[in-house]
Amino acid sequence: MKIDNDFNDIDAMGDNHIGSSSDTPMRSDAFKLSDKEKVDIIKDDVRHIMETLGLDLKDDSLKGTPSRVAKMFVNEIFGGLDPDKKPKASTFSNKYQYGEMLVEKNITVYSTCEHHLLPIVGKAHVAYISNGSVVGLSKMNRIVDYFAKRPQVQERLTIQIVRELQSVLNTEDVACVIDAKHLCVNSRGIRDVDCSTVTSEFGGKFKEKEMRREFLDYINLDTQF
């Protein structure tokens, strides 16, 4: 049977880091159901998982868990799947003619590994060189947060952030570096609590060695207040 073959393929992969496209894999009917309908379905699924594990959902501490998890999935940690929640990043004319790179560093990343649905926690560092337009600083944080709030692999997240800013700012000169811990590695499997994963995506002028080096020097500055 095909389903048996599918499970065999998954078992063969084990904990290997498998990637797909740079776009989040979505079904064509992903938004057919309302958020409320999704919450109701997920709530039943979570209840079934907990009951299968032998938990007593009549206990006061557990009886609200299926509902809380379902709402969290739809409204919070996977909210970045909904294009209606995509931040509107208005741009402004670069009237002051600032021509050097602008770096927004230490942007907090909370995401979820799509292989085990465990947290990814880290920092993103983003930079761009204006091509005549600038974007509000907080919008850069919001773009990172939007693409992080979905089942992810870190490589894809890094690429998606850069592509979105390139589109918003109409320039190829965008860079992103992410340094993050994956709890699927830190808390299970090999359980290496100290390791982190670093990914990068460099566009336009940031592909040049000197420009890339300048960006990396900036994000290594020890900023304290």
pLDDT at residue number 225 = 84
Determine whether 184 is an active site residue. Answer: yes
Q: Is 113 a catalytic residue?
A: yes
Closest CA to 165 of 198, 132, 137, 143: 143
> pTM for this one?
0.90
Pick the catalytic residue: 17, 115, 172, 214?
Answer: 115
Q: What is the DSSP string of 16-74?
A: ------SS----TTTTSS-HHHHHHHHHHHHHHHHHHTT--TTSTTTTTHHHHHHHHII
The active-site residue out of 104, 125, 152, 154 is 154
Question: Is residue 160 among the annotated active site residues?
Answer: no
Q: Which of 104, 113, 125, 176 is catalytic?
A: 113
The active-site residue, picked from 104, 114, 164, 201, is 114
48 is catalytic: no
Catalytic residue among 17, 116, 155, 172: 116
The active-site residue, picked from 125, 166, 182, 201, is 182
For the residues of the chain, what is the DSSP string, one character each? -HHHHHHHHHHHHTT------SS----TTTTSS-HHHHHHHHHHHHHHHHHHTT--TTSTTTTTHHHHHHHHIIIIITGGG-GGGS----EEE-TT---SEEEEEEEEEEEEETTT--EEEEEEEEEEE-SSEEE-HHHHHHHHHHHHSSEE-HHHHHHHHHHHHHHHHT-S-EEEEEEEEEHHHHSSTT--TT--EEEEEE-GGGGSHHHHHHHHHHHTS----
Annotated catalytic residue 116: yes
- Count of Cβ atoms closer than 10 Å to residue 222 Cβ: 4
The radius of gyration of the chain's CA atoms, rounded to the nearest angstrom, is: 20
Contacts of 40 (CB under 8 A, 6+ apart): 70
pLDDT averaged per 10 residues, the chain (length 225): 53 59 93 97 98 98 98 98 93 93 97 97 98 95 98 98 97 98 96 97 98 97 87
- Nearest alpha carbon to residue 136 among 91, 199, 186: 91
**Options 160, 164, 184, 201, the catalytic residue:** 184
